[in-house]
Amino acid sequence: MEKAFAGVIGLVLGMVAINGWGSTPLQVNYGMPQELGEPVSQPTIQEFRDETSSGVQTSIFAEYYGSKIGSDKFTGDEKLNGIGAGITFTAVSALNTTIGMNFQKNSSFQNTEINIKGGYKFYNYDNTYANASIGVGYAWIDVDDYDVRLRYITLPVELEVGHYFQKDLATYVGIGYKKLYVEHLKDVCTGYFCSSTASDILDMDGVTYRLGLKYDF
């Protein structure tokens, strides 16, 4: 009985204490909130190019154009240096068509070529792009040692990587491979060139390399 009474007394005292705490007003501290630190600014990337734009983009370019082409059966490899220029039309930010012309020469050769290439821009991010292309062209090569002009069908394959350092201005480098098939053998028909193996002797191939600037309208 005494244990039960003590338990009841303890319960009552506990309820009184709880009621007293509940009646005590909550203390509120007024003042300026504590600073959490300086706001953190997220770095922004300046995007000159819109990778999702639609429509047709027109660009012009001018470049240094060099190559190392030749035929082991004719003159061996020849290094040529020159210039090139042209215009590119890009659709849906990826598919493009380029019409170009280049002129190269060395001490023995002078090469003038026009071509048209179809390309695909397979990388385009953070103002940097990469484009692969293949095309067809026509070239005139003057060979000073033989006093003849050779005409060729050309098949260029190229890879170009560029970067926009201004909104509409980019610099680029390119490397490629070109095959040249001789045309109009009668233009150089001498006792040597009119043989049945003349086309095999005069066909040429080699690597090309470019460095240029491109401007977008």
pLDDT class of 181 with cuts at 50, 70, 90: very high
The domain at 57-216 falls in which architecture?
A: Beta Barrel (2.40)
Average pLDDT, the chain: 80
Q: Which residues contact 63 (CB under 8 A, 6 or more apart)?
A: 83, 84, 85, 172, 174, 210, 211, 212, 213
pLDDT in tens, 76-98: 788 999 999 999 999 987 999 99
- Is residue 117 pLDDT above 60, yes or no? yes
What pLDDT does residue 150 have? 85
pLDDT in tens, 45-60: 555 555 445 589 999 9
User: CA–CA separation, 201 vs 185, rounded Å?
Assistant: 11
- Is residue 212 pLDDT above 80, yes or no? yes
pLDDT in tens, 10-42: 544 454 444 454 455 555 555 555 565 565 555
Q: Where are the domains of the chain?
A: 57-216
pLDDT in tens, 98-109: 999 999 999 888
Query: What share of the chain has pLDDT > 70, as a percent?
Result: 65
